[in-house]
Amino acid sequence: MAIFSSISEKLNHTFTKLTNRGKLTELEIKQAMREIKIALLEADVNFLVVKDFIKNLSEKAVGEEILKSLTPGQQVVKLVKEELTKLMGGSASKLNTSSKPPTSIMLCGLQGAGKTTMAGKLALMLKKQGKKPLLVACDIYRPAAIKQLQVLGKSIQIEVFEKGTQKPVKTAKEAVNYAVKYGYDTVILDTAGRLHIDETLMKELAEIKKQIKPEEVLLTVDAMTGQDAVNVAKNFNEQLDITGVILTKLDGDTRGGAALSIKAVTGKPIKFSGIGEKLTDIEVFHPDRMASRILNKGDVLTLIEKAEQSIKKEDAERMQQAIKQNSFTFEDYLMQFENMKKMGNMSDLVNLIPGMSKYKNALQNVDENALAKQKAIIQSMTKKERVRPDIIKASRKQRIAKGSATSVQQVNALLKQFEQTKQMMKKLKGGKGMPKLPF
């Protein structure tokens, strides 16, 4: 996840110095605390939040238990992870639901934060969980806002309730009644945004909240705006008493200050994060998993969840069988291509695998065209060649290269890569210490 790349690099540089030493002195820990403080400030974390974070961390890190520990460096890393987790909310915060359907969720935020798209993402996620959501168009000011929501709704087969340019409060009330009548259990209100906070906007939002009494008032903020996002969250919370925050563009190349500051500044949890442009790119925000990613410790649980959501059960069983029997073929290799594509961007996935983040830069340089060419090469093979690549000699290579519009050198490179992958699969057989992944 690019958002934490800078802070991760700096923190891990500090931790490497700590863990390479045996015993630590109080002075060495204080120096480490100073480096952590600088890393957080450079990541655009709120100054007061950093001050409290370092104070709490220092008190624990210079304790007798740490200084006399056999692995004091590792203990400090463990403390930092715990404090980061606490800073971001401790644990995942579930959606509040109504005892009597429908549950009303009011999305608010400034223009450009990705609120309307997030309404669609949230609706799709709830639909996959067995809910029956209704999207409601309450933004009558932004040109084409209603049309945008309708297009999103159509693409995910979720109904959009709209009443043109009538007052949003009236539309919201009618939508709830419509949901009750037609059996919708969740109502998601896409409210109007502004380029900046103004009194008219807040009055309208406050009136919708008063009339609808939603179980959730979720503020959508753009993670790429850093401390501006924190200030927006603070203002909305003071005037609307929000129940939680959705961070969009968490996959962007930013410093991460918003994710690390919002809970401490507003007292309200981050409930979801947007991690890409696709409508499936939404995650429940898990503070402990996010802390693990920041410290380059991976996030196997999220990786497994992504795999379970994206990969068919029979494909997963087939792959487990191929590893077990050491019968990995180009058919399996092709299936892997398709499954990995469903799970998301390769350079993002690598952050979820413990110890693999060091390969991120290399993976970011992998050309999508190169992957497409590899797929074309495999598809140009006969069924027998895919199962028995050892029979692919000179004449076959030339035929495959011609059929895939590539070169013999590229065919050779893929054959070599396949053999390396097969060897890795062989090592995974029995897999001591490896998590059992469903792909």
Q: What is the rounded CA–CA span in Å between residue 299 and residue 83?
A: 17
- Name the range with the highest mean pLDDT among 72-76, 263-267, 396-400: 396-400
312-351 pLDDT, tens digit per residue, is 666 666 666 666 666 778 877 777 777 766 666 655 565 5
Asked whether the predicted pLDDT for residue 306 surpasses 80, the reply is: no
Q: Which of 280-284's residues contact partners 24+ apart within 8 Å by CB, and which partners? A: 280/121, 280/124, 280/309, 281/121, 281/251, 281/344, 282/118, 282/121, 282/122, 282/124, 282/125, 284/92
Asked whether the predicted pLDDT for residue 253 surpasses 70, the reply is: no
Interval 155-179 mean pLDDT: 95
Where is 340: in which H helix or E strand? helix 330-343
Interval 15-40 mean pLDDT: 81
pTM: 0.69
> Model confidence at 311, in pLDDT bands (50, 70, 90)?
low
Higher pLDDT, 386 or 73: 386
Worst-scoring range by mean pLDDT, 68-72, 278-282, 383-387?
68-72
Asked whether the predicted pLDDT for residue 411 surpasses 90, the reply is: yes
Helix-helix angle 26-42:72-87, to 10 degrees: 30
Domain ranges of the chain: 2-87, 103-301, 304-428
Read off φ and ψ for residue 338, nearest 5 degrees: -65, -45
Residue 143 CB: number of other CB atoms within 10 A?
A: 7
pLDDT score of 80: 87
Q: Where are the alpha helices (H) located in 44-138, listed in sequence order?
A: 47-61, 64-67, 72-87, 115-128
Q: Give the residue among 216, 214, 204, 219 at the shortest CA–CA distance from 170.
A: 204
Average pLDDT, the chain: 81
373-396 pLDDT, tens digit per residue, is 888 999 999 999 998 888 999 999
The class level of CATH for 103-301 reads alpha beta
Q: Which residues contact residue 432 at a Cβ distance below 8 angstroms, ignoring those fewer than 6 apart?
A: none
Is the domain defined by 304-428 classed in CATH 3.40.50.1240?
no
Burial class from Cβ neighbours inside 10 Å (0-12, 13-18, 19+) for residue 24 reads: buried
DSSP 8-state secondary structure symbol assigned to residue 437? -
The class level of CATH for 2-87 reads mainly alpha
Give yes or no for a cis peptide into 72 (omega within 30° of 0): no
pLDDT score of 437: 40
pLDDT score of 302: 59
Q: Contact, 250 vs 273, CB < 8 A? A: yes
- Name the range with the highest mean pLDDT among 15-24, 75-84, 113-122, 245-254: 113-122
Inter-CA distances, 130 with 123, 185, 186, Å: 11, 10, 11
